[in-house]
Amino acid sequence: MKGQEWYQADEVAEAYDEKRFSRGGRLIDRREKEAVLHALGPVEDREILEIACGTGRFTAMLADRGADIVGLDISGPMLQRGRERAREVGVADNLEYMRSDAGRLPFPDNRFDAVFAMRFFHLADTPETFMSEMRRVSREQVFLDTFNRFSARSLYNWALPMGSRLYSGREVQELLDAADLDLVGTDHDWIGPYGFYRKLPNTLASGFRTLDTALGSTPIGPPLASVSYWNARL
């Protein structure tokens, strides 16, 4: 996986949420959580696995809604921050965190109702392997997001610490087909790249987000979108 050593550094974990989800990044956090909740639907008593759970933004949210959830990540410091978050919001007894490699998931076939990964496939050096493993341990559903090849994301990709893997819609469809997954829903968003929003105060970013959403709702929006959300079923 790209940037493994960088991602597992203590100082990266400590600053991760503050750097990405403060200021205008709050809009990103809100939208990503909406995407996860919309895709998964009612989660109470569902068995769910999050791949690359990081600091536990989604695991804590879903545990609070009654999911039986496991968060898996390769970074010990990220998982530690996730455990702290779970204690802070009172859901530490309702979820489990595990350190493991997403390319070799330590679960039997069909272990979970749903498996999802956010902010992960742009780091994947072998996306086919990760998709296959997600499909193997899921009984019903696989959900993920990707950064898109033909978008504003490509304009600053070179400046990122580890770069990003960008995908076309055809490439994602080929990954799903290879894993024997059926695409049942997709959503395209964020004409402006994430990095742009994180540099702005929240109030200013909100104004740009309104314009971004309006443009995204037009016919030219999906082809220009920086991010896509993919909902697949077995």
Q: Which residue has the higher pLDDT, 14 or 102?
A: 102
Quote the CA–CA distance of 231 and 165 in Å, as a whole number: 19
- pLDDT tens sequence across 139-181: 999 999 999 988 877 766 665 555 688 999 999 999 999 999 9
Looking at the domain 4-233, which fold is it?
Answer: Rossmann fold (3.40.50)
| pLDDT tens, residue by residue, 7-45 | 555 555 555 566 666 677 889 999 999 999 999 999 999
SS3 content of the chain, % helix, strand, coil (to 5): 45, 20, 30
List b or e across 19-29, with b for residues whose CB sees 16 or more CB atoms inside 10 angstroms.
ebbebbbbbbe
Count of residues in the chain = 234
Counting Cα atoms < 13 Å in the Cβ hemisphere of 144 gives 29
User: Which stretch of DSSP H or E encloses residue 209?
Assistant: helix 202-216
Among residues 93, 61, 56, 58, the alpha carbon closest in space to that of 75 is found at 56
Q: Is the pLDDT of residue 84 over 90?
A: yes
What are the distances in angstroms from CA 80 to CA 27, 64, 76, 92?
Answer: 25, 18, 6, 12
pTM of the predicted protein model: 0.91
From start to end of 63-156, where are the E strands? 68-73, 95-99, 112-117, 138-147
- pLDDT of 48: 98
- pLDDT of 200 over the 90 cut: no
Cα 119 versus chain centre, distance: 4
Helix, strand, or coil here: 51?
A: strand
Q: For the chain, what are the domain ranges?
A: 4-233
**Eight-state DSSP code of residue 55:** T
